[in-house]
Amino acid sequence: MSDQLEKAEYNRREFLAASAAAGLGLSVAEALGQESKNKDEINIAIIGAGTQGRVLMNSILKIPGVRIKAVGDIWEYSQRYTSRYVKKFGHENNVYADYKELLAKEKDLDAVVTAAPDWMHAPISIAALEAGLHVYCEKMMSNNAEAARSMVKARDKSGKLLQIGHQRRSNPRYLHVKHKLLGEAKLLGPQINYANAQWNRGIKTDNTWPSKYEMAQEELEKWGYDSMHTFRNWRWFKKYGGGPISDLGAHQIDVLNWFYGSTPKAVMGSGGIDFYEKVEHNDTNMLIYEYDLPNSKTGRAFYQVLTTTSSLGFLERFMGTEGTLAFSEAPRWNEVYREVSTEEEWTKWAEKGYIAKEGAKDTGDEEKVVDIRQSPAPEKWLIPVENDKPIHMYHLENFFAAIRDGVPLNCPAEIGFQTCATVLKGTEAINTGKRIEFTEDDFKI
């Protein structure tokens, strides 16, 4: 239970005891018996109830002991949809356009979950922390490194929790890869030497809106948007978001840092606005990050976001001298390859359930070499971990468990900040055409 709740609980008991003593007709026990809020219940507000806000809402509705008490969104369409939807599940909620009013009026909250556009992450999260609430804030933490830094500082000042929505950090498959396959079994060898990852997505048309829910110009400007078009397509504009590299790439660049176990030392890149019209961010982004390895050599990671082709979709690949791992948040990618030269047999890891064989068609090193130029295929295995919940649910569960039971957050603010700084420098490298070396200050709070 949060400090705020504990305080409210204490004040209420004091008041009831005083009322009983003053002969108001209720015994303390009777009065306390009327209490409707379960002490273990976590009351939350969702601020920014658009596409992702509703994805999170759907997971939250499945998590016992969490009540959605308020919905904050500047757009009537999102307000109505989300508020009505959660009501159907018995969550009575109040609706607000202005998050500041929500925070001022909702006195019974423990936490805020925000999925507003990136530029609003810092103001909303900081105001919620200052109101004494825990915060789950979607990625990317901010489109501005200074704003992201101020979120960490506000978190530190408040003593509350700030989880950033890089949900792969709570995904059982990713945790299995990180701790079992890389950490314990060291299937790739002593270290990761290379990585490549990508998010390729086919052409997307602009987001539109039902004419019934078109906001008046004055209303749009009040909230900082110059038109319905920029409001609905904020991702492409510098004021509001970081572009595809932050929108899609932040997820996987976060995994690069996580699995390499550090932040990078340098980045270089190439990219540009190669296809779309009237956008401000690069639609094509190709980056190479360099990491210091434990053996004093350099590990390199190639990362790309393409927005005009869905070729091979989105996945991460990590390579070492003894093997390769290829996987993704999507089940489509699930491969572990043992190098032909690897001496250690992997059957012992299969016996422990860490890896599995695919079945008859997975012939691996028994494949016939039909051409003398063709080297024998590396032995192929699978990661035998399937997710049984929506992908964001694990990360939300981690957040609520941290509030309730004090378990550590899987992506606390300082990690989200490192990822944010890593991504934003990647954009800078593309836009300046320079190889940029990271400094200590880039990652300092």
Ligand X SMILES: NC(=O)c1ccc[n+]([C@@H]2O[C@H](COP(=O)([O-])OP(=O)(O)OC[C@H]3O[C@@H](n4cnc5c(N)ncnc54)[C@H](O)[C@@H]3O)[C@@H](O)[C@H]2O)c1
Q: Between 101 and 184, whose beta carbon lies closer to ligand X?
A: 101
Interface with ligand X (CB under 6 A), residue from 106, 110, 118, 379 = 118
Q: For the chain, how many residues are written?
A: 445
In three-state secondary structure terms, 109 is: coil
- Nearest CA to 268 out of 104, 421, 427, 380 is that of 427
Site map 119..138 versus ligand X, x via CB under 6 A: -x-----------------x
- Nearest CA to 43 out of 106, 137, 115 is that of 106
Should residue 117 be labelled a site residue for ligand X when binding is judged by CB under 6 A? yes
Should residue 50 be labelled a site residue for ligand X when binding is judged by CB under 6 A? yes
* DSSP secondary structure, 274-314, as one string: -S-SS-SS-SEEEEEEEEE-TTSSEEEEEEEEESS--TT-E
In three-state secondary structure terms, 195 is: strand
Least distance (Å) between residue 132 CB and ligand X: 20
Least distance (Å) between residue 84 CB and ligand X: 14
- Of 50-58, 185-193, 267-275, 281-289, which part binds ligand X (CB under 6 A)? 50-58
Q: Are 82 and 53 in contact (CB under 8 A)?
A: yes
Q: How far is CA 319 from the centre of its chain?
A: 24
Q: Between 8 and 95, whose beta carbon lies closer to ligand X?
A: 95
DSSP 377: P
Interface with ligand X (CB under 6 A), residue from 43, 167, 334, 418 = 167
Should residue 115 be labelled a site residue for ligand X when binding is judged by CB under 6 A? yes
* DSSP secondary structure, 258-270, as one string: HHHTS--SEEEEE
How many residues make contact with ligand X (CB under 6 A)?
25
Should residue 323 be labelled a site residue for ligand X when binding is judged by CB under 6 A? no
Distance, in Å, from the CA atom of 35 to the CA atom of 13, rounded to the nearest integer, reads: 10
Interface with ligand X (CB under 6 A), residue from 78, 125, 143, 252 = 78
Q: Between 47 and 355, whose beta carbon lies closer to ligand X?
A: 47
Q: Are 254 and 264 in contact (CB under 8 A)?
A: no
Q: Between 182 and 421, whose beta carbon lies closer to ligand X?
A: 421
Distance, in Å, from the CA atom of 318 to the CA atom of 167, rounded to the nearest integer, reads: 19
Q: Between 89 and 223, whose beta carbon lies closer to ligand X?
A: 223
Should residue 271 be labelled a site residue for ligand X when binding is judged by CB under 6 A? no
Interface with ligand X (CB under 6 A), residue from 15, 89, 223, 275 = 223
Residue closest to ligand X (Cβ): 50
**Nearby residues of 436 by Cβ (< 8 Å), 6 or more positions away:** 266, 267, 268, 425, 428, 429
Distance, in Å, from the CA atom of 244 to the CA atom of 201, rounded to the nearest integer, reads: 10
What six digits make up the tokens of 1? 């239970």
Q: Between 103 and 182, whose beta carbon lies closer to ligand X?
A: 103
- Of 44-52, 84-92, 181-189, 190-198, which part binds ligand X (CB under 6 A)? 44-52
DSSP 347: H
Interface with ligand X (CB under 6 A), residue from 42, 46, 49, 415 = 49
Least distance (Å) between residue 76 CB and ligand X: 9
Q: Are 91 and 98 in contact (CB under 8 A)?
A: no
Site map 82..101 versus ligand X, x via CB under 6 A: -----------------x--
| In 70-161, alpha helices (H) | 76-88, 99-105, 121-130, 145-158
Site map 147..166 versus ligand X, x via CB under 6 A: ------------------x-
Should residue 316 be labelled a site residue for ligand X when binding is judged by CB under 6 A? no
- Nearest CA to 90 out of 12, 36, 166 is that of 36
Interface with ligand X (CB under 6 A), residue from 52, 196, 200, 262 = 52
Least distance (Å) between residue 253 CB and ligand X: 13
Interface with ligand X (CB under 6 A), residue from 46, 60, 111, 116 = 116
Residues making contact with ligand X (CB under 6 A): 47-53, 72-75, 78, 99, 115-118, 120, 138-140, 165, 167, 223, 247
